[in-house]
């Protein structure tokens, strides 16, 4: 039992100790070697030349991330080898969240083809978050005698091997989706590859090819001008950009036929989970703003946010699906 002045001093020391403990609990934990993130400029690496859809996504995100974090955010284009140069550069960067990759959905097709470097993508890079998405649009030349997907399927079944579909090249997303469409519907349509999206769409408008699965941004101007007719979109839900056009799943009742083009953010594989979470929350916050959505819609895209875990699951699901299409059709990338 404590008495007198010494007892009062002991009680006072206990009060001081309790107050210090409460302050420690409410304050952020900072270790001697910890550094606040981000502590310097962030670099968003793009594996393609400036000017394309992925570059536009990166520059929109860079501007908003800079405002969000109060740090400079730089877009660095490292084109070449089908984006593998950029992938490898980010994979080898310091795993601290300051060097990130912006990559398209096509990386899952590259992985499905199983080339060594592509197969290592999910080993070397950690998914942070998806950013934006857009379905492809099944478009036909206006002269094609089909006003909806069911009529197109019936026409293709009545004339097997006569209808053609264009793609932007072997092993591209429109090519793989065209083969998925054939597998799910049982139609026999012929793949005609072109060297890029623009020549593929031009061939459909000229009537040289009857149909294609076109990127939303490339299809919209031609649809508005009446040079193409949209029968359906390939996503899991109707697009805000073409709300009156059904999805292929809605039009046919088929399952496992939805697929969209998306863009996502990746970090080096060893990046700490708390840094990935900080980045993911920042992307989600940015994508939720009406101003950012308006900017994406102007590019033919919509915001699409998935957590790191859900993004990882999406990647693996898409690799499995495209691997199945490649296996079942025997197609090859050139």
Q: How far apart are CA 42 and CA 75, in angstroms?
A: 9
Q: Is the pLDDT of residue 42 over 90?
A: yes
Q: Is the pLDDT of residue 177 over 50?
A: yes
Task: Pick the closest to residue 308 from 268, 280, 285 (CA basis).
Answer: 280
Domains of the chain, each with CATH number or no CATH: 42-134+261-329 (3.40.190.150), 135-252 (3.40.190.10)
pLDDT of residue 118: 64
Q: Is the pLDDT of residue 28 over 60?
A: no
pLDDT of residue 35: 60
CA dihedral defined by 260, 75, 128, 105, rounded to 10 degrees? 20
Q: How far apart are CA 321 and CA 243, in angstroms?
A: 27
Q: How far apart are CA 171 and CA 167, in angstroms?
A: 9
Kindly give the interhelix angle for 53-69 and 273-287, rounded to the nearest 10 degrees: 100
Q: CA geometry: angle at 178 spanning 151 and 126, to 5°? A: 135
pLDDT of 280-314, one tens digit each? 999 999 999 999 999 999 999 999 999 999 999 99
Q: How far apart are CA 138 and CA 60, in angstroms?
A: 28
Q: Is the pLDDT of residue 18 over 60?
A: no
């Amino acid at each position: 039992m404590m008495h007198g002045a010494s007892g009062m001093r002991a009680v006072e020391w206990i009060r001081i100790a309790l107050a210090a403990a409460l302050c420690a609990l409410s304050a952020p934990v900072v270790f001697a070697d910890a550094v606040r993130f981000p502590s310097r400029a962030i670099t968003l690496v793009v594996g393609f030349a400036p000017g394309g859809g992925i570059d536009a996504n990166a520059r929109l995100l860079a501007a908003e991330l800079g405002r969000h974090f109060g740090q400079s955010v730089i877009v660095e284009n490292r084109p070449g080898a089908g984006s593998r140069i950029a992938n490898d550069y980010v994979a080898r960067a310091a795993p601290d969240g300051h060097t990130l990759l912006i990559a398209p959905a096509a990386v899952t097709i590259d992985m499905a083809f199983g080339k060594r470097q592509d197969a290592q993508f999910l080993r070397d890079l950690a998914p942070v978050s998806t950013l934006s998405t857009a379905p492809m649009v099944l478009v036909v030349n206006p002269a094609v005698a089909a006003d909806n997907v069911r009529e197109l399927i019936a026409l293709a079944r009545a004339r097997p091997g006569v209808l053609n579909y264009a793609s932007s090249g072997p092993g591209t997303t429109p090519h793989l989706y065209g083969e998925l469409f054939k597998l799910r519907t049982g139609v026999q349509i012929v793949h005609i590859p072109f060297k890029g999206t623009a020549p593929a769409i031009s061939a459909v408008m000229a009537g040289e090819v009857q149909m294609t699965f076109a990127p939303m941004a490339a299809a919209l101007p031609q649809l508005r001008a009446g040079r193409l007719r949209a029968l359906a979109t390939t996503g899991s839900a109707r697009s805000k950009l073409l709300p009156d056009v059904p999805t292929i799943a809605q039009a046919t009742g088929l399952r496992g036929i939805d697929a969209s083009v998306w863009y996502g953010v990746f970090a080096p594989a060893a990046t700490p989970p708390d840094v990935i979470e900080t980045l993911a929350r920042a992307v989600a916050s940015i994508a939720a703003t009406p101003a950012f959505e308006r900017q994406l819609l102007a590019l033919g895209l919509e915001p699409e946010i998935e957590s790191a875990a859900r993004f990882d699951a999406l990647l693996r699901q898409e690799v499995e699906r495209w691997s199945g299409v490649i296996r079942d059709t025997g197609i090859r990338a050139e």
